[in-house]
Chains A and B, each alone.
Chain A
Amino acid sequence: MEAAKVLDAKGLACPMPVVRTKKAIEEINAGEILEVHTTDKGSKSDLTAWAKSGGHELVKEAEEGDVFKFWIKKA
């Protein structure tokens, strides 16, 4: 999956992953994909809910070791 932008939010605590994701998604165009990497254990619920609220599509998510990865398609 080709991401238009990759956001490294590893090591950041609440509320930063959502705040940074919001900023990052403003920098891409509708239909493009933002890839987000986090380590905050709450980010799975946080980013899923955040994407839903904004009408964005969470295309894919993955866990690699301690790192959570999300691919969000901008609405």
Chain B
Amino acid sequence: MAEKKRTTIILFSGEYDKAMAAYIIANGAAAYDHEVTIFHTFWGLNALRKDNQAPLKKGFMEKVFGKLMPRGADKMGLSKMNYLGMGPKMIKQVMKKHNAMPLPDLISMAQEQDIKLLACTMTMDLLGLQKEELLDNIEYGGVGAYVGDSEDANITLFI
């Protein structure tokens, strides 16, 4: 059997629309039978946060970051027309009307399709994020893991 094709995506951004684009492409690539990796770094890590995690022991700066950043995919703002949170409400309504999948559903579907969700441990340290507050069944790594998956990838994107 021929070697599977690969797609790798770096999700650096922490906005709902950009994360949605990343996850739609990832799910599409999985439907093309690609092995898909999404490498979450910096603000993209917030897509992996659980929304109801009990507070963890953290230093002052980590607590501040934890409070200021969106807790989970559904809490993310828009990269354009955010309007203090009105934008996401409006776009979610429009998405419902057009039957587009909400971001949290796209993430569960990615997990169902065995897409590798990789969290960058270096930026987790910077932003004070701990494994306990990120989704279960994800992987942890750094640039080595990303480059390893990407060096024979057919598609690679930075979002």
Chain A residues with a Cβ under 8 A of chain B: 11-16, 18-19, 21-22, 50, 53-54
Contacts and interface: CB of A to CB of B under 8 A. Distances in A.
B21 to A, nearest CB: 11
B28 A15 contact: yes
Contact of A50 (B25, B31, B98, B101): B31
A43 B33 CA distance: 18
Contacts of A53: 32
B27 A19 contact: yes
A52 to B, nearest CB: 11
Interface of B: 24-25, 27-28, 30-33, 98-101, 109, 113
Given A15-B24, A15-B28, 20 more contacts: A11-B99, A13-B98, A13-B99, A13-B100, A13-B101, A14-B24, A14-B28, A14-B100, A15-B27, A15-B31, A18-B28, A18-B32, A19-B27, A19-B28, A19-B109, A22-B31, A22-B32, A50-B32, A53-B32, A54-B33
Contacts, number: 34
A58 B19 CA distance: 32
B98 A21 contact: no
Nearest to A23: B31
